[in-house]
Amino acid sequence: MQPLLHDLVSVVHAPASALGGADGQLRPTGAQGLFHADYRVISEAVLRVDGREPVAVAHSLTGPGAAVFVGLLPWLGDLSPDPTVRVERRRRLTADGMTEHVTFANTSHEPVTLGLTIDLACDLAAIETVKSGGLTAPVAVHLDGDHPVWRQGGLAVGVAAPDARVDAADTTVQLSWAITVESGSTTEVSWAATVSDPRAVLIEPAGPVEWERPELVADDRRLTRLLEQSLDDLESLRLAEAGTPEDVFLGAGVPWYLTLFGRDSLWAARMLLPLGTELAAGTLRTLARRQGRALDPRSGEAPGKILHELRRHEFHVALDGEELSLPPAYYGTVDATTLWISLLHDAWRWGLAEDVVEELLPTLEAALTWLDEYADPDRDGFLEYLDTSGLGLANQGWKDSGDAVRFADGRLAEAPIALAEVQAYACQAATNAAALLDAFGRPAADKWRTYAVELSKRFRSAFWVDGPRGAYPAMALDRAKRPVDALTSNIGHLLGTGMLTAEESARVAELLASPELAGGYGLRTMSDRDGGYNPLSYHCGSIWAHDTAIAVTGLAAEGHADAVAVLTEGLLIAAEAVGYRLPELHGGDARTDLRRPTPYPAACQPQAWSAASAVAIVHAASGLRPDVPGGQITLRPLAGAPLGGFTVRGLRVAGRRVSVTVGRDGSASLTGTPSALTILP
């Protein structure tokens, strides 16, 4: 079985991450350990004092890549109801490893003497082996002078521990210190693990963080705290390819997906556009270099197609009787190509330099070739997917688990499948591409405008269904072109894309805010009235922060303030319950049944698009929509200020810092706007 993650604390500085217990221990079990670039480089780091584990009382994230764990040593110090000796374990991740500072504080009346040990081991297990619940034999340790080192296949993990005694035996290392802490004072020791991995595909970016760190003052302090934690997490997820450290993108999530994911990295970069365009440029260029050039059923590659996932070697996972075996560069995604087009367009609108846009236009045109020639293999007018290899992803939209696409009665849909939101992405991408082609004097703009109009007509005819709950868009079409009639969160992705009329948009907003979809802590992936619903299903009833934020963004763009308020309130309650680090997903249980969200036990945390959702929500509430090439900027906040009043300083338009203030009455003001832009109400 896949190891559970919900009770672990993750500390990240990509490409390194550490997952351990709330007590700070890294135990040789499950998904615990220090990871680097898809390998577990420390499989055990257990601290003991006098042969006993401290009594864990607290832990806290303390910034990007940092955390502290607090324990008590009740057998030491004064005989008193109050603890007088404590230990703090301060963990800091770097791109090439981890350092821990262990501090003992003695408030008792006498000095205390103690023996500290830290037991270490290393198995160099591949991330897919850990994810599958498999076991890897520990690696033999060697001493390089006084420093223990584990080596295998060009990968080396070294340990340094000043002033420690080092005992190495076969595969394990014990660090030990004899420590005296005077009354009223503290004593500190440290140790570090450093990784040398010359074959790593992904590395730490070369420069500082690319985006602004905005300051938010809000009536709803939950929103401020969520944004602060999310910005820390986003900073820790920055990655670049080994050959191009200047092109930055966000790794999808920890621990399983700390790598380049086309869809995830694109959505996260798109949500962060209000903070600057540099991340978008790095993400676009990185994916452009790996754009498909040939037809390959094994990898899913096709000319013009955008990558789904990048690994250093084949990614082989066997879970629940199903086998997944993906090549290092895997293209099994039906939506990343259209999302790439729309990110390029949106970044241009936010002020991405014209020379950068122009450099990427050949990639845009190749992506349109994929949309024209390969995205619709049966030529029925809809984008669809089918894994012909038998080893790839059966479902290739964002809901990519094997059982994600279901009818209202719970039956599984059979591929090829045409997803509702994928048609909307294509409609929006075609419109956006036409705008770019026109602006840069390239041909075929009219063709793609016509494509968008015709696609929306076909969608209206084929996808809309009617039943006891009224009319709504189906989740998908199945192999027989039947509407897959479950009511799902997919419909939220249709908003703001040009796919819906105003009347259809209002109907979708009504459904998104209904108790059957919005009765939990955010937007359920599936209505609780459908046959496939399970509040702890990965994609059929759970709640994903990014999915909720995409719906909120679309609702705000089309003016549905009440629905925005319903969905955002659920997500903010969830954020408060988990210390404002939103996980990949949580359970879809009703708020009337449970006073806090149920953790999804295998959810990654942090997750790029979950963290980016905080920025998306603030942006949606602000109503700021720039069109730098058109010389104008619109400021149209939500009517009635459903999220309360706020001021956000440090958004960036055309490279300039701007500030937006939204009053409690819904009024708004904008300062710092470039003089070349006209502000429209």
> Is it the case that residue 454 has pLDDT exceeding 90?
yes
> Is it the case that residue 220 has pLDDT exceeding 80?
yes
pLDDT in tens, 26-51: 999 999 999 999 999 999 999 999 99
| Tokens 């048609």, residue located | 423
Q: Which amino acid is at 403?
A: D
At residue 143, the 3 state secondary structure works out as strand
Residue 146 pLDDT? 87
Tell me what the pLDDT averaged over the chain comes to: 97
**Bridge partners, 659 (sequence order):** 649, 671
Q: Which amino acid is at 246?
A: E
**Helical spans, DSSP H, in 463-544:** 502-512, 515-518
**Bridge partners, 439 (sequence order):** none
Which H/E stretch holds residue 471?
Answer: strand 470-473
- Helices vs strands, H then E, count in the chain: 13, 35
Residue 320 pLDDT? 63
Contact 338, 428 (CB under 8 A): yes
**Residue 681 pLDDT level (bands cut at 50, 70, 90):** confident
Classify residue 429 as left (phi > 0), alpha (psi -120 to 50) or beta. Answer: alpha
Residue 168 pLDDT? 96
User: What's the average model confidence in pLDDT over 293-317?
Assistant: 96
| Residue 107: count of CB within 10 angstroms of its CB | 17
> Is it the case that residue 646 has pLDDT exceeding 90?
yes
pLDDT in tens, 229-275: 999 999 999 999 999 999 999 999 999 999 999 999 999 999 999 99
> Is it the case that residue 467 has pLDDT exceeding 90?
no
Q: Tokens representing 464?
A: 């809309």
| Domain architecture of the chain: domains with CATH | 9-200 (2.70.98.40), 203-662 (1.50.10.10)
Distance CA 492, CA 553 (A): 9
Residue 321 pLDDT? 63
In SS3 terms, 267-315 reads as HHHHHCHHHCCHHHHHHHHHHHHCCCCCCECCCCECCCCCCCEECCCCE
Q: Which amino acid is at 263?
A: R
b/e map 202-220, b = 16+ CB within 10 Å: bbbbeeebbbbebebebeb
Distance CA 584, CA 595 (A): 20
**Residue 319 pLDDT level (bands cut at 50, 70, 90):** low
Pairing outcome for strands 55-63 and 66-72: antiparallel
Q: In this prediction, what percent of the chain has a pLDDT beyond 70?
A: 100
Contact 381, 458 (CB under 8 A): yes
pLDDT in tens, 373-393: 999 999 999 999 999 999 999
**Residue 610 pLDDT level (bands cut at 50, 70, 90):** very high
pTM to 2 decimal places: 0.97
Distance CA 202, CA 230 (A): 22
Distance CA 578, CA 593 (A): 18
pLDDT in tens, 539-550: 999 999 999 999
Q: Tokens representing 247?
A: 């092109």
Contact 281, 359 (CB under 8 A): no
Contact 648, 275 (CB under 8 A): no
Q: In this prediction, what percent of the chain has a pLDDT beyond 90?
A: 97
Distance CA 268, CA 284 (A): 12
